[in-house]
Structure 1
Amino acid sequence: MTYQSNIRRTSNYKSIAKNSRVLSANPYDLVAVLFAELRENLDLMVESARRNDNARMFEFRAKALGILNGLDESLNFEAAGELAQTLHTIYREAARRIQAEIGASFIERAESAREMLHEIEKAWLAIAPGVARV
């Protein structure tokens, strides 16, 4: 078996596991899955930027921004009020940092966005009932 087929098979297993988790998720778990996916894509984006692999970096950045947009759009301003507004502001700032122009400070900005969002993820996991802890 070749190295590439092992990678493909591992990727398929991860995809199946992820899809199963999403299909059986309650709303709390679904947000946790989104945060985990966001963190993974941000990690891969930063790693790709460090290797000067701009094609992969842009791919992971687009995925991360899509997830971040989904989290932002799911905010319920009527029910959560000030908390929703605060999260909206944080998500918008994180997106701004992620979309920063590629250059000397890009990795620093992307890492700062990743840290901001990871703090929210940890808080979510601390309050969400029955969610797997990161």
Structure 2
Amino acid sequence: MYSPGQAGANAYARVGVQTDVMGASPHRLIVMLYQGARQAIAQARMFMQQNNIGGRGMAISKVIGIIESGLQESLNKEAGGEIAKRLDALYAYMSRRLLEANLNQDEAMLVEVDNLLATLEEAWVGIGPEVAQMAAATV
């Protein structure tokens, strides 16, 4: 099914991602989670348009996993106060919408979650310079 060259390219990509993760700051890791979730939504949309039920389900499951096990679990609800509580509720909402999108084969719901993730990603990237300054000040 795959050519030997494709297997090598996939292995190289995995090593690149692992290297990026190991060398990333906590701030960068969150950006990577947003990007991964959005890429999986794009895949889910493609599979939905192709009527590929298995692929759609796997892609949506991946997004839910990133949201629940990555973004949601990384929240510090005590230190983050009201913002962390609201993000937690928003992540729970996104997970529900993704499940509904899969059950109802509703691409609009996937677009809705992607837009929410894009807004959060943009805000997170926007605070990057401030986070870097704070990190440099504590060294």
TM-score range for the pair, normalised by the shorter chain length:
0.7 to 0.9
Is residue 71 of structure 2 the alignment partner of residue 78 of structure 1? Answer: no
Measured at CA, do residues 74 and 54 of structure 1 come closer, stay the same or move farther in structure 2, by a change above 3 Å?
A: same
Q: Does 1:46 align with 2:45?
A: yes
Distance 1:4 1:115, change over 3 A: farther
For residue 13 of structure 1, what is the aligned residue in structure 2?
Answer: 12
Match of 2:87 in 1: 87
After superposition, the C-alpha distances for 1:82-129 in whole angstroms (9 at most, x for unaligned) are 11111112111111111015335x111111111111110111011024
What's the % identity of the aligned pairs? 26
Would you tell me which structure has more helix in proportion to its own residues?
Answer: 2
Output the amino acid matched with 1:127: I
Deviates most, 32-41 or 94-103: 94-103
Give RMSD over aligned pairs: 1.8
Pairwise mapping of residues 56-71 of structure 1 onto structure 2 (< 5 A)?
56-69=55-68, 70-71=70-71
Kindly state the Cα deviation for residue 3 of structure 1 after the two structures are TM-superposed: 6.6
Matched, 1:102 2:100: no
Q: Is there any run of 5+ residues in structure 2 with no aligned partner, and where? A: 133-139
In structure 1, the gaps of 5 or more residues are none
Provide TM-score, normalisation by structure 1. 0.86
Whole-angstrom distance in 1 between the partners of 2:126 and 2:4:
38
TM score, norm. by length of structure 2: 0.83
Q: Deviations over 1:43-86 (max 9, x none)?
A: 11111111111111111111111100021111111111111111
Offset of residue 7 of structure 1: 3.4
SS at match of 1:39: helix
What is the number of residues matched between the two proteins? 128
Per-residue deviation at 1:35?
1.1
